[in-house]
Amino acid sequence: MRREHSIEPAYFEALYKDKGDPWFFETSAYEAAKYAETLAALPAARFASALEVGCANGVLTARLGPRCDALLAVDVSQTALASARARCSDQRNITIAQRRLPAEAPEGRFDLVLLSEVVYYWDSADIVALAAYLRKAVPSGGHVLLVHWIGETDYPKSGDDAVAELRAALGEPTSVVRSDRHEPYRLDLWRLGEAG
């Protein structure tokens, strides 16, 4: 049964408090392969300013950090963020903060926004609000990279529906640089401000 509204932060905090690493980001071969594919899909060797939404316990954050002059990694779970801070403590270019997007979207401009396994947690109203934020926060020529599970979920959206809704909400001009399907996830890279 699909949830009708965006998933509340308490859901994620309870998972991290109870299980520590509920999706096995630290140990899963699937996650490691997906992270390698995510990093390989980045459209540049380095980014001046990047935003990672839903950084969880920082496993991907630690690998993304060396590719960024400044990386802001955010999540809703205090427990997950404590792990992320410990994991990334040696990378001074990484800032880790508790924020709930889109309501608590950070100020600033980002030439890369990474949305890995997060958009399907939001309902349609929040996806529209996220699109409005991205249009302001990502300069023309900047990129949005999405990675989402495409199996069955009880989240507000499926992976496919989440990506389609965000793409429609962003509207033109947005260029689809790549849209790859892997088993069992999809990877989408968009360039904002350029039609295509």
Starting at the earlier edge strand, list the strands of the sheet with 143-149: 94-98, 68-75, 47-53, 112-116, 143-149, 185-192, 174-182
Express each pLDDT in 176-189 by its tens digit: 999 999 989 999 99
**Per-residue pLDDT, 194:** 63
- pLDDT of 111 reads 97
pLDDT of residue 53: 98
Q: Answer left, alpha or beta for residue 194, where phi above 0 means left and psi between -120 and 50 means alpha.
A: beta
pLDDT at 195: 53
pLDDT at 79: 97
- Residue ranges of the chain with per-residue pLDDT less than 70: 194-196
Residue type, 109: R
C-alpha–C-alpha distance, residues 22 and 45, integer Å: 31
pTM, full prediction = 0.96
Write the CATH number of the domain with boundaries 9-192.
3.40.50.150
Quick: pLDDT tens for 34-60. 999 999 999 999 999 999 999 999 999
Whether the CB-CB separation of 191 and 177 falls below 8 Å is answered with yes
> How many residues are given for the chain?
196
